[in-house]
A and B are shown apart, each in its own frame.
Chain A
Amino acid sequence: MKKRLLALLSILLVFSVVLAGCSEEEAVETKSRLDVIKERGKLIGGVNADIPGFGYVASDGSYTGMDIDITRAVAAAVFGDPNAVEFRPLSAEERFIAVQTGEVDVLARNTTQTLSRDASVGLAFAPVTFYDGQGLMVRKDSGIETLEDLEGARISVESGTTTELNLADQMRKLGIDYEPVVFDSQDAAVSAYEQGSADAYTTDRSALVSRKTTLSNPDEHFILDEVLSKEPLAPSVKDGDSQWIDIVSWTVNALVQAEEFEITQANVDTFLDSEVPEIRRFLGVEGDMGEQLGLPADFVYQIIKAVGNYGELYDRHLGPDTVFDLERGQNSLWTDGGLLYSPPFR
């Protein structure tokens, strides 16, 4: 009897300790993300380290790419220093857990914005930084020209991505039987296609373009005109902290707006003397827009000074001077017929 009582007591004790731990945890979590980051002195960005053009390690050891620069822009907005950031390379499977647990402050890793990720995964998305669409690459001599020709074909695809699901959806809609060949990395999926164990390879069109340049005979392959899905790639943060969501969102907006104002990394200083009220507010020469977000007044100036505007980012990593030479297409400003549109800074 005594023993049993003792056991019960000790169980109670353990539970109370656990519960006490929980309440402490909640107390910590009420601290805003911005404060946590400022206290830490650097931003932690969840990125991709193995997608050409978007995130990779350059020979000098620095992370480089479109998504990397967007993360740097956020760091510049908070600290005025694009290097006050630690990059955490994440795989497709672990990226959401890393955001949910607060391991990373912002996720800029080729992530497609979807309803379920917004709602049930608990992410909050910033504006889209790259409009992509899923495409298919096939061999020219295979005679495949449309999706219907893929009847019975083996299609290689990376697992755990929306790509895999879109492929299944589209094929079911069209009533085409195909054989998915699933791999857990892009490299494996591409080499399976290249070595002929798959007839087609599917992923986002931006990645297809870059992957095509790596094949041993790029001219023997071509990308189907049909687009399987919309893939708006957007940075995201953990849901629930509206201030931090706003900061990341308006960082992206600032990149787009700067291109619209034709403010570049090189000429941003000359705009500081501008008489145009919109630009004066935009660069923080007057007004309190930075303050409203909890950032320094000149946060936009710092972003542009650090990484340039959206067009510069694009040209640096995907534009005509790179091996990809990717058309701006949907990723042009709305004034040029694209989809990039920043709400007004006022």
Chain B
Amino acid sequence: MANDELTTKQVSIPETAPPKTSIGVLGWLKENLFSSWINTILTVVFGTIVYLIVVNTIEWIFFKAEWYVISANFKLLMVGQYPVEELFRVWIAFTLISLLMGLSWGIWKGTMGHLTIAMTAIYIIVASLPFVLIETRIWLLVNIALIIATYFLGKRLTKFKKYILIGWFLMFPVTMILLSGFGVFDRVGTNLWGGFLLTLLIAIVAIVFSFPLGVLLALGRRSKLPVVKWFCVAYIELIRGVPLITILFVAQLMLPMFLGEGVNIDNVIRAMVGFTLFSAAYLAENIRGGLQSIPRGQFEAAEALGLNATFKTVFIILPQSLRAVIPAMVGQFIGIFKDTSLVAIVGLTDLLGMGKNIISNPEFLGTQMEVFLFVALVFLVFCNMMSYASRRLEGALGVGTR
């Protein structure tokens, strides 16, 4: 039939594998890296650059760098000139934190667990470093064991959430008393606090104290009371109009001039106050952004429920606005954490300042690359932990999805 001619004839062509150049590694390479002559040139040029950088970096890290500058000064970098015979106080504070972390891991799991595991990993890495003192190793192993033990304990203590929270809040004054003495132990002057310990302390103080201050300033700026409002506006704009380093210089050098010789405020405290005041002004603006994002209906609904101004702010407005600005706030906290290295300029020996002092030791001349790389690594690890915690917190609170 004629129609038969028109129908397609089933001809079976034997199946062959696709050409080698379009599948697998080769295919991927061709499609992504060598698809046109421009891409080919770019690939070759940048490939060479990356190769050179990687090779030289690896060669430097493993063969040229003199890491003994870190191993010989590890204690200095971590706790500065804190007296060796009093170091157990730092360790006690550390152990208490480990205890709380383990319990929190058991109770809350999730983010807390991840952070605790990260901290434990850091402990294990530090404990396995060949050059740390045997005492350090023992303390770290005790801490690791404690974290694991309290994790299982915490799993059963889910009812005690409140007490753990109180514990975290008490942690700060307890640490301060442990470190400085305050009559309980011998006094260790803050001029001996240094290294990463000082960096952490300044950052924690600034973060913990600037948060409530920032909330108050943000609320104050929206207040209808003119004195409160204009005070907050003036404060925020004044602080935001001045660079942080200027505030630190004023705190370290001008303050004694204003106060006269009789009054003497410790210079670490001065730095802490400077950071807190600075951070509070920026936080206030972040939080104000959150406050403004709350729709009018929320205020009206709260009023319709008969809530007074305090309840309305505390239970309806603040929780929503704070949740909205978590990324901005954590960004500010990370910024403050890194900015602590500015205290090196005003003569405090934080991690960076200590690094600078160490490389001037004739024994370690010319090791600035190693020291600064180590300092950068420590900052990198801790900043990443902070931003990770923030991302998890956002996820848990449903920011951007609700």
Q: Is B353 an interface residue (CB 8 A)?
A: yes
Spot the interface stretch: B73-81, B273-281, B287-295, B307-315: B73-81
Contact for B357 among A21, A31, A50, A91, CB less than 8 A: A50
Q: Is B358 an interface residue (CB 8 A)?
A: yes
Q: Is the CB of A91 within 8 A of B345?
A: yes
Q: How far is the CA of A290 from the CA of B349 in the complex (A)?
A: 36
Spot the interface stretch: A121-129, A210-218, A277-285, A297-305: A210-218
Q: How far is the CA of A56 from the CA of B356 in the complex (A)?
A: 9
* Cβ distance B53 to chain A, nearest Cβ, rounded Å: 15
Contact for A28 among B262, B353, B359, B360, CB less than 8 A: B262
Minimum CB distance partner of B356 in chain A: A50
Minimum CB distance partner of A94 in chain B: B253
Q: Is B167 an interface residue (CB 8 A)?
A: no
Please indicate the chain A residues that have their CB under 8 angstroms from the CB of B81 in the complex. Answer: 57, 61-62
Per-position binary interface string of chain A over residues 291-326, scored 1 when its CB falls under 8 Å from any chain B CB and 0 otherwise: 000000000000000000000000000000011100
Please indicate the chain A residues that have their CB under 8 angstroms from the CB of B353 in the complex. Answer: 49, 89
Q: Is A88 an interface residue (CB 8 A)?
A: yes
* Cβ distance B389 to chain A, nearest Cβ, rounded Å: 33
Contact for A98 among B73, B253, B354, B368, CB less than 8 A: B253
Minimum CB distance partner of B82 in chain A: A61
Q: Is the CB of B360 within 8 A of A52?
A: yes
Q: How far is the CA of A28 from the CA of B256 in the complex (A)?
A: 13
Please indicate the chain B residues that have their CB under 8 angstroms from the CB of A213 in the complex. Answer: 365-366
Chain B binding site: helix, strand, loop or mixed by DSSP? helix
Q: Is B48 an interface residue (CB 8 A)?
A: no
Per-position binary interface string of chain A over residues 52-84, scored 1 when its CB falls under 8 Å from any chain B CB and 0 otherwise: 110111110110100000000000000000000
Given contacts A29-B261, A61-B81, whether A187 and B359 have CB atoms under 8 Å apart is: yes
Q: Is the CB of B368 within 8 A of A36?
A: no
Please indicate the chain B residues that have their CB under 8 angstroms from the CB of A59 in the complex. Answer: 72-73, 76, 358, 361, 363
Contact for A215 among B257, B347, B359, B366, CB less than 8 A: B366
Q: Is B235 an interface residue (CB 8 A)?
A: no
Given contacts A28-B262, A88-B347, whether A61 and B75 have CB atoms under 8 Å apart is: yes
Q: Is the CB of A58 within 8 A of B261?
A: no
Q: Is A260 an interface residue (CB 8 A)?
A: no
* Cβ distance B396 to chain A, nearest Cβ, rounded Å: 43
Q: Is B346 an interface residue (CB 8 A)?
A: yes
Q: Is B189 an interface residue (CB 8 A)?
A: yes
Q: Is the CB of B362 within 8 A of A97?
A: no
Q: Is the CB of B256 within 8 A of A103?
A: yes
Q: Is B139 an interface residue (CB 8 A)?
A: no
Please indicate the chain A residues that have their CB under 8 angstroms from the CB of B349 in the complex. Answer: 49, 57, 89
Q: Is A176 an interface residue (CB 8 A)?
A: no
Q: How far is the CA of A51 from the CA of B360 in the complex (A)?
A: 6
Per-position binary interface string of chain B over residues 65-98, scored 1 when its CB falls under 8 Å from any chain A CB and 0 otherwise: 0000000110110001100000000000000000
Q: Is A25 an interface residue (CB 8 A)?
A: yes
Please indicate the chain A residues that have their CB under 8 angstroms from the CB of B262 in the complex. Answer: 24-25, 28
Q: Is the CB of A101 within 8 A of B253?
A: yes
Please indicate the chain A residues that have their CB under 8 angstroms from the CB of B73 in the complex. Answer: 59
Q: Is A246 an interface residue (CB 8 A)?
A: no
Given contacts A28-B260, A61-B80, A214-B365, whether A56 and B253 have CB atoms under 8 Å apart is: no
Q: How far is the CA of A82 from the CA of B296 in the complex (A)?
A: 68
Ranked 10 nearest A-B pairs via Cβ:
A214-B366, A56-B360, A25-B260, A57-B357, A214-B365, A50-B360, A61-B81, A49-B357, A101-B257, A97-B253
What are 26 A-B pairs with beta-carbon distances under 8 A? A25-B261, A52-B362, A55-B360, A56-B357, A57-B76, A57-B357, A59-B72, A59-B73, A59-B76, A61-B75, A61-B80, A88-B267, A88-B347, A94-B345, A94-B347, A97-B254, A100-B257, A101-B257, A102-B261, A103-B253, A103-B256, A187-B359, A210-B365, A214-B365, A323-B362, A324-B362
Q: Hey, which bits of chain A sit against chain B, CB under 8 A? A: 21, 24-25, 28-29, 31, 36, 49-53, 55-59, 61-62, 64, 86-91, 94, 97-98, 100-103, 185, 187, 191, 210, 213-216, 322-324
